[in-house]
Amino acid sequence: MPQTDSSFTLVAIKQPEIYPGIPSVTLNDQTIQERCRKILQGMALQNLDSLVIYADKEHGGNFEYLTGFIPRFEEALLVLHKNGEAVLVLGNENLKLAQHCRISARPVHAPWFSLPNQPMETALSLSEVLQSAGLTGKQRVGVAGWKLFTSTHEDTTSLFDIPTFIFQALQTALTPACELLNATHLFISPRDGARIINNANELAHYEYGANLASSAALTALNAIELGKTEKSIAALLAAEGQANNVVTIAATGERFDNANLYPSDKKIQAGDKFSLTVSYKGGLTSRAAYVVNEAEELHADVRDYLDVVAIPYYRAVVSWLENMRIGVKGHEVYELIERVLPKAEYHWHLNPGHLVADEEWLCSPIYPASDIPLASGMLLQIDIIPSRKGYAGASIEDTIALADESLRLQIAALYPELWQRISARRAYIRDVLNIQLHDDVLPLSNTVGYLRPYLLNKSFALCRNVRRTS
């Protein structure tokens, strides 16, 4: 049996504050212009004549980054030329959105992008439609899907993650001499992608979702009681009519019964494992623990859960939080987690931390041998997932931003209410949880660092025993 870590203890502490009903922040015209400028600069560095940006409901982030919308239930393309000219290629039910596009763009109709069995009559082929979007006589064209391929076993510039019928039409539209390459990295490369760095307006825009998710999650955690159904808890995660960017989880007992991914009518029982996750643009909050009041209510085989899983995991998250700052390199974070929570024992395998924005997972600068420095404007998700056979998991995934002094001053000046929330979260983490954050670290979720291992005991959570001096 492992030795108890005396640095952390389960004690009665006050819950973090939540902020329901805060107004969302719209991206301003200056931000949209800055975004477009970054992409055009990236195209120039890659010597691209044109960039074809793919979107559908699940994979619309790069498209939305410039247009402000996703094509909902259809596919869409944004064709951006090096001179700044833009063309929207849209299906039947998204043509009306072209007039609302955040950049100036000419629409062309591609009925093949419409829903099954809708009217698709047209005098042009799809390749001819693409030619009408300006894709003629080009020498070098990039395609941005949504996936950043990181395999070391093949040339990833020749992998394309767009539907075959679109890719084949694109090949036909271009001359045989035109070089076609995967250019998704222009948006989401963790080293220099346009989307990895956010300005003050963008951070305020995304904080809305991080606050929303963490507020809903804490409300749901407080509602967990024996006999309630998964659905009744999940209903508390549906916040302000906003669209989720991952499947909502409220799962008691064993997950995935009958291959089900969604909250069901299953009732919460004493001793159950419980998982809860909700995510909106800008932030995900996730929790995993046991439905008990204290260790004695657990089955004898897992009664040491606090020492075997929860506290070692919490120590790793605290280490992550206290070492986050501008300039730290990705491999240093990866190696830190390997030291404090060895992979061979705790079986985590994903990158321990990644970037977020409109998607829950954008990309990650944190991986073995990564020399990518963390930078001001990055929006980071705590994502360390331990696994010990026979035990429930432990999870306190939440969102932070990194901001240098200049960016912090901008946020405070432009968004004073946001700055007050950030300051209050930092004070809670410092004074209640005894976790010491660097000045660069801005908590965007309300529940950063807050872990209840026993979900029926709503007064007790883990914290550091003795506050560390800086």
Question: Considering the domain boundaries, does residue 302 fall inside one?
Answer: yes
Both 320 and 175 in one domain: the answer is no
pLDDT for position 441: 98
Domain boundary residue among 151, 182, 213? 182
pLDDT band at 121 (very low <50, low <70, confident <90, very high): confident
Both 56 and 160 in one domain: the answer is yes
| CB contact at 8 A, 372 and 329 | yes
Model confidence at 77: pLDDT above 50? yes
Q: How is the chain split among helix, strand and coil, in percent rounded to 5?
A: 35, 15, 50
Question: Considering the domain boundaries, does residue 36 fall inside one?
Answer: no
**What CATH number did the domain enclosing 439 receive?**
3.90.230.10
pLDDT for position 28: 98
pLDDT band at 158 (very low <50, low <70, confident <90, very high): confident
Question: Considering the domain boundaries, does residue 16 fall inside one?
Answer: yes
Give mean pLDDT, residues 409-423.
98
Q: Domain of 100?
A: 47-182
Distance CA 424, CA 318 (A): 18
Model confidence at 302: pLDDT above 80? yes
Model confidence at 183: pLDDT above 80? yes
Both 154 and 251 in one domain: the answer is no
Both 199 and 127 in one domain: the answer is no
pLDDT band at 1 (very low <50, low <70, confident <90, very high): very low
**What CATH number did the domain enclosing 133 receive?**
3.40.350.10
Give mean pLDDT, residues 385-408.
95
Give mean pLDDT, residues 447-456.
97
Both 117 and 66 in one domain: the answer is yes
Model confidence pLDDT, tens digit, residues 324-336: 999 999 999 999 9
The structure tokens listed for 325 are: 């700052």
Residues 6+ apart with CB under 8 A from 107: 87, 88, 89, 90, 95, 98
Model confidence pLDDT, tens digit, residues 207-225: 999 999 999 999 999 999 9
Both 61 and 164 in one domain: the answer is yes
pLDDT band at 2 (very low <50, low <70, confident <90, very high): very low
Both 252 and 173 in one domain: the answer is no
Both 270 and 165 in one domain: the answer is no
pLDDT for position 153: 61
Model confidence at 109: pLDDT above 70? yes
Question: Considering the domain boundaries, does residue 187 fall inside one?
Answer: no
Model confidence at 271: pLDDT above 90? yes
Residues 6+ apart with CB under 8 A from 105: 67, 78, 86, 87, 88, 98
Give mean pLDDT, residues 421-432.
98
Both 69 and 213 in one domain: the answer is no
Model confidence at 470: pLDDT above 50? no
Domain boundary residue among 130, 151, 182? 182
- The b-or-e profile of 411-450 (16+ CB within 10 A means b, else e) is beeebeebbebbeebbebbeebbbbbbeebbbbbbbbbbb
Give the rounded percent of residues in the chain with a pLDDT score beyond 70. 97
pLDDT for position 5: 74
Whole-prediction pTM: 0.95
Both 199 and 167 in one domain: the answer is no
Both 329 and 206 in one domain: the answer is yes
Cβ burial, residue 126 (10 Å; 0-12/13-18/19+):
buried
Domain boundary residue among 147, 182, 217? 182
pLDDT for position 4: 60
pLDDT band at 243 (very low <50, low <70, confident <90, very high): very high
pLDDT band at 367 (very low <50, low <70, confident <90, very high): very high
Question: Considering the domain boundaries, does residue 42 fall inside one?
Answer: no
pLDDT for position 421: 98
Give mean pLDDT, residues 441-459.
97
Both 391 and 282 in one domain: the answer is yes
Give mean pLDDT, residues 36-54.
98
Model confidence at 315: pLDDT above 60? yes
Residue of 372, 453, 439, 355 whose CA lies nearest to 405: 439
Query: What number of CA atoms fall less than 13 Å from residue 195's CA on the CB side?
Result: 27
Please give the tally of structural domains in the chain: 2
Model confidence at 129: pLDDT above 60? yes
